[in-house]
Amino acid sequence: MSSARQSAAIAGLTMAHPIDLTTDAGTLAATAAAKPGDDLPNDVRKRVHALRFLEDEHAKLMKRLTEEQDQLVLKYAGLAQPIFDARRAIVTGEKEPTEEQTVGFSEHPTAPPPAGKGIPKFWCKAILHNDVICNLTELSPHDVEALEYLQNIQTELIPKQTTLVNGKEQQMYGFTLLFTFSPNPFFSDATLTKSFFFTVNDSKSEIHHTESAPPHWKEGKILTLTTVRHRKNGRMETVTKPRKSFFDFFVPLPPLFFQLSSADMKKRSIEATVGLEFKEVLCPNALGWYLGEMVSEEPETDSDEAEGLFDDSDGEGDEDGLQNLGGEDKDEDDDEEEEREEEDDDEEDDKPLRFRGKRPRFALSAKSLKDTKAKHKPLFSTQPQAVSSTTTSSESPKAPVKTETNKEPPAPPPECKNQ
């Protein structure tokens, strides 16, 4: 067949069976726009439409419920504030209990001597009994003395409001924790604050950012730093490096999301867990935590978050230009063995408190365990007895061997003077 005849045949076939491109496109668009339930009979589809209307009405009702619940929370937070103010006055010794508050009280015949005004170390003991706060903030033995000056913890709610987040309107709310301290040798601030802001996404709350300011430390009293001595180029040098501390909780993070590193995001998540533990668990039930009656429930965090707020992934830190900010210098000693022992003691002091098991919750480092128990002994005999973590071997060595385990223990830390 010639090329001319082939062209004519193809043209004739096309004319005999034309392709309606417009119809095919319309069919595809209609298929794409089909909704669930469109394949139902029209009478059923009508009833489904009515059910959708009813569900929308229920959603509006639930929105009103949420709004009224928010108002109720604010209302009763205001009503509860005078109760917490009365608690603060009794704890600090500003006021003595009224007759109404002490109805049914009877003195114990074997009670210790009077303690003076207020309830000494009330909030310090309450915090030490809470495993979640102690573990996630990596509260260490050197923090305890500063926390003994803590007089009150107060929660202030931040009402829900609509704000722009990444160019999109979202509802944001939060709360502020206020930690009030009496005059102390560690920092000049009377109050340390930490604010938490949450956004609501699909009825779920997510931490957005936190705001805080670190303490204004007094000279030589920075609890977040420590001084260590080591040998460099044949000479003993004293350098300052970070150490784990409860007060890292007040170190601010970058306010903008894109400025956060992965470590900052982990810390922000841990901070939110600690903040909610203060707000919803410890502060409303402070007396139970002080007496050791409450038991912590472990938060649902992954193993990385469980490490706590302090991130020492940078190793030893920058040793250039460091000043003696965290403590007093030790007298220079050229004995390398003695220097290693001193470094071991420093590392032992810096270990955070790790709490597990039953009450009481004073599992400090082995070095200061006995002293801390003496300072914070349980109030009632009904409390379970602590089990010492120190074990002794029943077998004695054949010959005395000088090791680091049989050296004389260092002197315990000084007792806190304030009451």
pLDDT tens digits, one per residue of 109-137: 999 998 889 999 999 999 999 999 999 99
Amino acid 59: pLDDT: 92
Q: How far apart (Å, rounded) are the C-alpha atoms in residues 205 and 170?
A: 11
pLDDT per position as a tens digit, 244-277: 999 999 998 877 666 678 888 888 899 999 999 9
Percent of all residues in the chain with a pLDDT value above 70, rounded to a whole number: 62
Regarding predicted confidence, which is higher, 348 or 267? 267
Q: What is the mean pLDDT of residues 330-351?
A: 51
Amino acid 411: pLDDT: 52
Q: How far apart (Å, rounded) are the C-alpha atoms in residues 168 and 364?
A: 47
Q: pLDDT grade, residue 217 (50/70/90)?
A: very high
Q: What is the mean pLDDT of residues 378-407?
A: 42
Q: pLDDT grade, residue 388 (50/70/90)?
A: very low
Q: Mapping DSSP to helix (H, G, I), strand (E, B) and coil, where does residue 372 land? A: helix
Q: What is the mean pLDDT of residues 284-301?
A: 83
Amino acid 318: pLDDT: 38
Amino acid 173: pLDDT: 93
Q: What are phi and psi of 31, to 5 degrees?
A: -65, -40
Top mean-pLDDT range of 18-27, 130-139, 317-326, 356-365: 130-139
Amino acid 309: pLDDT: 54
Give CA torsion, residues 316, 249, 272, 289, to 10 deg: 120
Amino acid 2: pLDDT: 52
**Cβ-contact 171, 160 below 8 angstroms:** yes
Regarding predicted confidence, which is higher, 108 or 32? 108
Amino acid 260: pLDDT: 77
Amino acid 212: pLDDT: 94
Q: What are phi and psi of 14, to 5 degrees?
A: -65, -40
Is residue 244 classed exposed, middle or buried when 0-12, 13-18 and 19+ CB atoms within 10 A define those classes?
Answer: buried
Amino acid 201: pLDDT: 79
- Answer yes or no: is pLDDT of 85 > 70: yes
Q: pLDDT grade, residue 91 (50/70/90)?
A: very high
Q: What is the mean pLDDT of residues 381-408?
A: 43
Amino acid 413: pLDDT: 46
**Cβ-contact 178, 193 below 8 angstroms:** yes
Top mean-pLDDT range of 167-171, 222-226, 381-385: 222-226
Q: pLDDT grade, residue 234 (50/70/90)?
A: confident
Q: How far apart (Å, rounded) are the C-alpha atoms in residues 282 and 125?
A: 11
Q: What is the mean pLDDT of residues 218-238?
A: 86
Mean pLDDT of the chain: 75
Regarding predicted confidence, which is higher, 415 or 222? 222
Q: How far apart (Å, rounded) are the C-alpha atoms in residues 394 and 322?
A: 46
Q: What is the mean pLDDT of residues 216-227?
A: 92
Alpha helices in 93-156 (DSSP H): 122-128, 131-136, 141-147
Q: What is the mean pLDDT of residues 348-373?
A: 44
With a threshold of 0.85, does the pTM exceed it?
A: no
Sheet of strand 204-212, all strands in order from the earlier edge strand to the far edge: 150-165, 168-181, 191-201, 204-212
271 DSSP assignment: H
Q: How much of the chain is in helix, strand and coil states, percent to nearest 5?
A: 40, 15, 45
Residue burial 67-104, b: 16+ Cβ < 10 Å; e: rest: eeeeeeeeeeeeeeeeebeebbebbbeeeeeeeeeeee
Amino acid 202: pLDDT: 74
Amino acid 147: pLDDT: 97
Q: How far apart (Å, rounded) are the C-alpha atoms in residues 294 and 126?
A: 10
pLDDT per position as a tens digit, 161-209: 888 877 788 889 999 999 999 999 999 999 999 999 999 877 788 898 8
Residue reference for tokens 């022992």: 341
Amino acid 35: pLDDT: 80
Percent of all residues in the chain with a pLDDT value above 90, rounded to a whole number: 42
Judged by average pLDDT, the poorest of 8-12, 27-31, 363-367 is 363-367
Q: How far apart (Å, rounded) are the C-alpha atoms in residues 228 and 236?
A: 10
Q: How far is CA 80 from the centre of its chain?
A: 24
Amino acid 364: pLDDT: 39
